Structure 1
């Protein structure tokens, strides 16, 4: 997938599909969450996996349904880091065909459960990774 450096692969399980054997729509957000966690843990080596972030907004676009036993690639990239938020894009493909696209905005949470600036070390790590350094 162009302009993406990371993807997580998974096979659709029977428990994730409905009576028509297509992925129940809410499961796509779980797929994004899993891929984002793996992106942070495996590629960015953020200790402890998911840092203190919350999902503030998700914009999704369904193109085609995934079905039972499909092997999906969930592509992940951070496209913007603001003061306290990050915009992350996702594309889910099956055999190179786009099934689903999403843009999530995550807000970094500091002590007391309030939005806080993204830590500078984390910002530098993400920017360096996405720029191929």
Structure 2
């Protein structure tokens, strides 16, 4: 997918579909969360760090329905890094066909759940990765 480096592949499973055998709309959020975790764990090597973020906002754009046993790629890229927030773009494709897009804002928080600055190592990893550096 143009403009994205990382993707996480899944096959749509039975519990994720409704009676029409299409993915129930709330499950797309689960797909985004899976890709977010894998992006931080495998690509950025920030395993164990993910729980210090909270999801503040997500906007969704459905283009086509995914169906039972479809093979999907969930693409992730960093859109922007703020003082306490990270904005990620997501795209879901089925055989190179764009079927879904989303943008999520994650806020970094401290142990008390208060917004806190995005750590320097996160900022460096996210920026470097999007500039094509190996992590």
Fold equivalence (TM over 0.5): yes
Q: TM-score range by the shorter chain?
A: over 0.9
Q: Extract unaligned runs of 5+ from structure 2.
A: none
User: Which residue of the partner structure matches residue 98 of structure 2?
Assistant: 98
Distance 2:85 2:23 in 1: 30
Q: Quick check: 103-112 or 63-72, which moved more?
A: 103-112
Report what 1:54 is aligned to. 54
Moved over 4 A (4+): none
- How many aligned positions are there? 133
Partner Cα distance (1:131, 1:123) in 2: 12
For 2:46 and 2:12, locate their aligned partners in 1 and report how far apart those are by CA, in whole Å. Answer: 27
Unmatched 5+ residue regions in structure 1?
A: none
Q: What CA distance in whole angstroms lies between the structure 2 residues aligned with 1:101 and 1:47?
A: 25
Deviation at 1:47, TM superposition (A): 2.6
SS in 2 for 1:111: coil
**Alpha-carbon displacement from aligned partner over 1:34-83 (angstroms, at most 9, x marks no partner):** 00000000000003152400000000000000000000000000110000
In 1, Cα distance between equivalents of 2:88 and 2:96: 20
TM-score by length of 2: 0.96
